[in-house]
Amino acid sequence: MAAFFADLLDDFSSPAFLEKVRVKFHYEETQAEALKAVAEEMRPLMCREAFWERRRIEAQTEEAVSAYRTSFPEMQYERVVMSLGAGLDALQERYSGQGHLSQSYMLEVLAGELLMQGYGAYNRYIANTTDWHVARYHFPGSEEAYPLEKLPDLLKGFTGQINCNEAFCMIPKKSVVFVSELTQDEKVRCEGICVGCNSVHCANRIADDSWEKQLWARMADVPLSYGYSRIFGKL
């Protein structure tokens, strides 16, 4: 287990990062100070608890992903987890319990943006410390070979405190797990699931104006539906 990427945590509450998040999620300039305050509460918790870890998938397990091999035979697979720690869950519950729903949503988008940056940091780590690079990500629940029901198996054996409940919700909540497909072929590269990727044919590409981002941008200051009220403990 390794601490989460230090360069990302160092930059997390910087003016440049916060302005990027503010603009990306359509927060008003008048909300910049509130966004900064939430980030400053989050950062020490993550510096203490956030981590990431990788585990090689052994040969017998690779059969489960063989259908997704590319035409290049030399591939490796590994399971990877990233978590921002349980402290953020407690902080978000406190915000919700106090009726501070805007702060709760700010925490959500800030954590999501940091995890998104984590994919690129992982790509760089692999490229800089091994003879391999990332060709593709596989996520539980996104493909037939990776049903959501496989989530407990993907989480087995990691030393960090991370698991899932019977509904396949990860604990801590601000966590991700994926299978990374690695290659040594220079013609096959995944730039990460990040906005701005120039690889328009990448299977993990996310559009700048995806409906998820627009939804999060609008949710902070609108009345909550019954479902979201349940999620945030208001009912």
**In which band, very low, low, confident or very high, does the pLDDT at 176 lie, cut at 50, 70 and 90?**
very high
Q: Would you state the pLDDT for residue 205?
A: 52
- Of 228 and 24, the structure prediction assigns the larger pLDDT to 24
Q: Would you state the pLDDT for residue 230?
A: 39
CA distance 204 to 191: 9
Name every residue whose Cβ is closer than 8 Å to that of residue 188 and which is 6 or more positions away in sequence: 70, 72, 135
Mean pLDDT, the chain, rounded, equals 81
For 70-128, write each residue's pLDDT tens digit: 434 578 899 999 999 999 999 999 999 999 999 999 999 999 999 999 999 999 999 99
Q: Would you state the pLDDT for residue 186?
A: 82
Q: Would you state the pLDDT for residue 155?
A: 93
Q: Would you state the pLDDT for residue 45?
A: 98
Name every residue whose Cβ is closer than 8 Å to that of residue 7 and which is 6 or more positions away in sequence: 121
**Range 134-143 average pLDDT:** 88
Q: Does residue 179 sit in helix, strand or coil? A: strand
**In which band, very low, low, confident or very high, does the pLDDT at 200 lie, cut at 50, 70 and 90?**
low
For 22-76, write each residue's pLDDT tens digit: 999 999 999 999 999 999 999 999 999 999 999 998 654 444 455 444 434 578 8
Q: Would you state the pLDDT for residue 73?
A: 53
CA distance 78 to 14: 32
**In which band, very low, low, confident or very high, does the pLDDT at 214 lie, cut at 50, 70 and 90?**
very low
Q: Which of 68, 65, 201, 56 minimizes the C-alpha distance to 126?
A: 56
Q: Would you state the pLDDT for residue 149?
A: 92
